Each structure stands twice: as C-alpha cells, then as structure tokens.
Amino acid sequence: MNTGNKLSTANIVLLFSILILVVIVAVPVILIFITAFFENGKFNIAGIAKILSDPDTYQALLNSLIIAAGTTLVSTTVGTFFAWLVARTDLPLKKTMKALFLVPFMLPSFIGALAWKVLLSPRAGYINKLLMAIFGLSKAPIDILTIGGIIAIESMYLFPFVFLQVEGSLERMDPTLEESARISGANLFTITRKITLPLVMPSILAGALLVALYSLAHFGVPAILGTEKGIYNIPTKIYERIYASGGSFNAIRVGTILSTILVISAALILKLQDMLLKKGQYQIIAGKSMRPMVMKLRGLKIPLLIISILYIGITVILPTVTIFLVGGLKTYGLSFELKNMTWNNYLKIFQWKMTKDAIWNSLYLSLGAAFVTMLAGTMISYVIVKMKVRGKFILQFLGVLPFSLPGTVIALGVILTWSGRFGINLYNTPWIIFVAYIARYMAFSIKSNSASLSQVSDSLEEASRACGATHWQSLKNIVIPLIKPGMISAFFLIFLPALRELTTSVLLYGPTTRTIGVAIYALNEDGETVRAAALASIALVIIFAGETIIRKFLARLDQAKVKVQE
C-alpha cells in the first residue's frame, strides 16, 4: 500500500470515528447548552435567572452539595481505613476481605436503598418495628428517609472508589521513608499518621473527588429515600419537573438549565482531580522490589477482622437477604415466617407483562449496546493509539466526555437530539435508550481497547504490510486477535452497568420500554414493594451470575494468553 493510500485510509477511519462521536456525544451536549441558554434565538438570561433563583432549585442544589460532601467524607474515611487494613497490616483473610470490599461495585445502589427503606422506614421498617417492640418505644428510633440516610446508603456503595485508589498506592509505595522513620524510633501508628497517609494523599483526594462526582449525579438513592419526604437533589428535581409536566418542552428547558449546574460541577471536579494527580508532592513508587512493611496488629487483629466482617454483613449481606425475603412475602408487612412466604412472586415476575418486558428490554439493550460500543470503541482506540494523523485530540476529548457527565444530562441531550429535531424521532422507542447507552459507555470501550492496543508493537503491523498484506488484512489477522481479550473486557465493562442502569433510562423509557431498573423504581413508587423486591432479587441473581461467568471467562483468557507467550 503506498503512502497516499495509507493517508487516505487513515483519514477515512479518522473522519468516521469523529462522526460517530460527534453524532452520539457532541451534538446532544451542545443542544443541552443551546436549549438552556437560548430561547427563540436570543440569549435567555432572564429565564436562567428566574429558574436559578427559584427556592426549589436553590434547595435542590443545596441538598446535592450536602449529600455529595457528606458522602465524600464518609466514603473517604471508610475507604482509606479499609485500604490501610488490607494493604499495610497483617489482617487475617486479606485476599478474601479485599474481594468482599469490592462487592458493592456489583450491586445497584438503588436496590440497596430499597432494602434499607424496607428495614428502616419510620412507618413500617422491620428493624424499627423490632426496636419499638423490644424497648417499648412509641415511635421509630431511626428514620432512613432523610439526607443523613441518603448519605449513609450512598457511602456504602461508593467507598470502593477510594478503597481501590488508596489500596493500590499503599501496595506499590517505596518503603524507604517508613524504614528510616522506624530506625529513628518512631512507632508504627506515628509512621502511618505522619508519613504513610501524607504520601498517599493524592490518591485519597483523587478517590474522594470521584465519589463527589458520582454522588452529585446519583438519581436512584435520593429518589427512593428522599422524594417521599420532599428531599430533592438536582437529578431528582430534573426528573420531577419533566414528568410533572408530562414531558413538555418548557420542562425539558428547565432540565437543561439544571443540567448545566451538574456539567459545570463535574468539570470543576475533574479539573481539580487532574491538578492533584499531576502535582503530587512525592514520588511514592520507586524502582525497588522491596515491599512496604506490614503493621502487626497483635491484639487488635481479631477485633478489626470482626469489624470488617460486620461492615460487610451490614452493608452487603443484610440488604441483599432482605430484598430476597421481602420478594417472597405474600403481603408486604408480614413477618418473615415460612407460612407468610411464597415462590409465586418470583414465578409471576416472568409471567407479568411489565416485569417480563423489563427483563427482556434490559438484556437485549445492554447486550446490543455493549457489542456496538465495543466495536466502535475499538476503531476509535485504534485511531488514537496507532494512527499518526491530525485531529486525534478531538477523539480523545469526545471519548472521555460522557464518562464525566451525569446520566441525567446524557438523557436530556439524547431527548433533544432524537425527538424529531433532525427528522429522526426515537422518543418512546427502545432505540433512544440504546443510543444513550452507547454515548454513556463509550469511554469504557475506549479506555479498555486503548490499553490493549498500546501493548501491541507497531513492528508487527509493519512486518505484515512489508510482506504484502493490506492494512485491513493486518488488522484482521494480527491486531484484532492480539487485542481480543481487551475487546471482550470492554464488552463486559459495558454490559453489566447497562444491565442495572437507572439514571439515564428513567428519563427515556416509554410505556413498553421499561428496563429492569426503571421497573423496580416504578413498582416501588406505586407502592408495590413486594413486586419491586421480587424483581430486584431476580436482577441481583442475573448480575451475580453475569459477574461469575465473566470472571471465569476472563481468567481462562488470561491462562490462554500465558500459554501462548510461553
């Protein structure tokens, strides 16, 4: 292939990649800002000021900030503590505990919120009723339907962001400074407090900012625990405004103005995170094979293990078991006795049209979106990593942009783009959710495939083309087989989050296009707690089964890769 043809092929692939991201990502985001700031072709400063000065908007923004700040503080404290326990102490069963601390990643937080509402709601919570009976109380001692309750539940599911960041840094850090302090007579607690934690502070802050970003964008937990008491954050206020008006354009305009608050907040958080990661004060990873020293817990070993197990039991096992038990009740509110339980609730989930359709919709939308996004992300990643063409920075920017945007913002952009404005109306069809999933999860595919492609030497393609192979033949016979594990990883990284997604699809579903997350939320809102719990139980089974299959499949791929290398 001559240079002119190579350049032509590269430019065609580049332009096609840019076109995908512009249509799927850039246009929806641009339309959000145009709709928010312009009305009838004129800058709409008066309308913006009116909405932002609305007491409801102010309260929703204040609630968002309070929830994000509280969740960040609690998640950072919990995540850092458990990361230190796993990475730097002789805690028993460390590998098992590390795996258990990552379990909340698999669980949809809105299902956890539903479980805790069943346990601790002030009127009918099972734990509250038990405490009232034991201590003879006239009213429930715990009310989960508060801002504090929202913070507590969100923290249970977001602390792994901090745990992963800090645990990784602690595992890899250079032990020289700690060893020097120990030789100088400092005890291990002093070393941890004055040396270890300051060294990993950039990682702690990076994880904390990631928690803040996700908390600001959370819909499920605040919707389930807050709206009953009139507690709204920005995402739930957007949903309330749009659906209270029946999806009118004026309500969507209000939603876009509120969305700009989330976009600006996300941009500031990401910028701050980038500054922290680039301007870390210390280099904590050195070229030595020495491992950081491990603190001997001595008498605290068993108590801290018990605390860790109790934490997992309370935050993971208790709500999961509760969901399964409530899903099997004949009527909500009955005690968990065998005579009050039935299997029919679970069987009817596959017979009742709404829930049966929701399961089917989630499966084919998440599978389809994962497959298409994997392929598109592979092509875009190839341009970014392997092709020496101008304009690659556009792909990099557009590729990661959806990752930083709340799902509510992406949903509004998709509504504005695909509701007839350009002659294509996907509203109230599964296709609009499909497009939104591609936009939201494109960054996952690009990150996974870029990592795989960066490990493939350019010399392999060059040797193939020197032997007479075309560019496409080199890709098909050499590059794609080598990056297949990364492509498969990208597929599963998209499939599982899409399967349990709520924040985006709750604004996009129609009468026949509910997903599992939307159906659970709708059933709970309608007071169908038992049906909601039964569907949530089936969702958890699907998620756990999917996670197990994926881990085994990827493990086999890794083993096969090792054998090939040997």
If you write DSSP's letter for every residue of 245-313 in order, what string do you get?
TTS-HHHHHHHHHHHHHHHHHHHHHHHHHHHHHHT-S-----S--PPPP-B--GGGHHHHHHHHHHHHI
Instruction: Report pLDDT for 2.
Output: 45
pLDDT digits (tens, 9 = 90+) for 298-352: 788 889 999 999 999 999 899 999 999 999 998 888 888 888 889 988 998 988 8
Among the residue ranges 4-8, 42-46, 172-176, 334-338, the one predicted with the least confidence is 4-8
Q: Which two tokens stand for residue 413?
A: 């952009």
Tokens 């099997």 locate to: 328
Instruction: Report pLDDT for 38.
Output: 85
Q: Which two tokens stand for residue 457?
A: 């030497």
Task: Give the pLDDT band (50/70/90) at residue 4.
Answer: very low
Q: Which two tokens stand for residue 165?
A: 């960041």
d(CA 519, CA 156): 23
The number of C-alpha atoms within 13 Å of 162 and in the hemisphere containing its C-beta is 28
Higher pLDDT, 355 or 449: 355
Fold topology of 347-566:
MetI-like fold (1.10.3720)
Closest alpha carbon to 121 in 52, 224, 196, 203: 224
Q: Which two tokens stand for residue 186?
A: 């400092």
pLDDT at 105 over 90: no
Question: What residues are paired with 43 via a beta bridge?
Answer: 38
Tokens 């569907």 locate to: 535
pLDDT digits (tens, 9 = 90+) for 414-469: 999 998 888 889 988 999 999 999 999 988 888 888 877 877 777 777 777 777 76
> What is residue 419's three-state secondary structure?
strand
Q: What is the DSSP letter of 196?
A: I
Higher pLDDT, 71 or 123: 71
Residue 275 · residue 160 · CB < 8 Å: no
Could you give the residue range(s) of every CATH 1.10.3720.10 domain in the chain? 47-327, 347-566
For residue 544, count CB atoms less than 10 angstroms from its CB and return exposed for 0-12, middle for 13-18, buried for 19 or more.
middle
d(CA 344, CA 541): 17
pLDDT at 148 over 80: yes
Q: Using a CB cutoff of 8 Å and minimum separation of 24, what contacts does 42-49 make?
A: 47/253, 47/257, 48/257
The number of C-alpha atoms within 13 Å of 178 and in the hemisphere containing its C-beta is 24
Instruction: Report the alpha-carbon angle 83-66-226, nearest 5.
Output: 100
Which homologous superfamily does the CATH classification assign to the domain defined by 47-327? MetI-like (1.10.3720.10)
Query: Where is 340: in which H helix or E strand?
Result: none
How many C-beta neighbours within 10 Å does residue 325 have? 17
Q: How many angstroms from the chain centroid is the CA of residue 342?
A: 34
Instruction: Report the chain's mean pLDDT, rounded to a whole number.
Output: 83
Q: Which two tokens stand for residue 451?
A: 């990592």
Give the residue-averaged pLDDT of 41-63.
Answer: 85
Task: Give the pLDDT band (50/70/90) at residue 8.
Answer: low
Higher pLDDT, 67 or 398: 67
Instruction: Report pLDDT for 287.
Output: 47
d(CA 161, CA 112): 17
Helix, strand, coil abundance in the chain, percent, nearest 5: 75, 0, 20
The number of C-alpha atoms within 13 Å of 201 and in the hemisphere containing its C-beta is 12
Q: Which two tokens stand for residue 71?
A: 């969740």
Question: What residues are paired with 425 via a beta bridge?
Answer: 419
Task: Give the pLDDT band (50/70/90) at residue 278.
Answer: low
pLDDT at 63 over 90: yes
Q: Which two tokens stand for residue 556?
A: 């086999």
pLDDT digits (tens, 9 = 90+) for 161-189: 889 888 877 777 766 776 777 777 777 67
Give the residue-averaged pLDDT of 49-75.
Answer: 91
d(CA 551, CA 103): 13
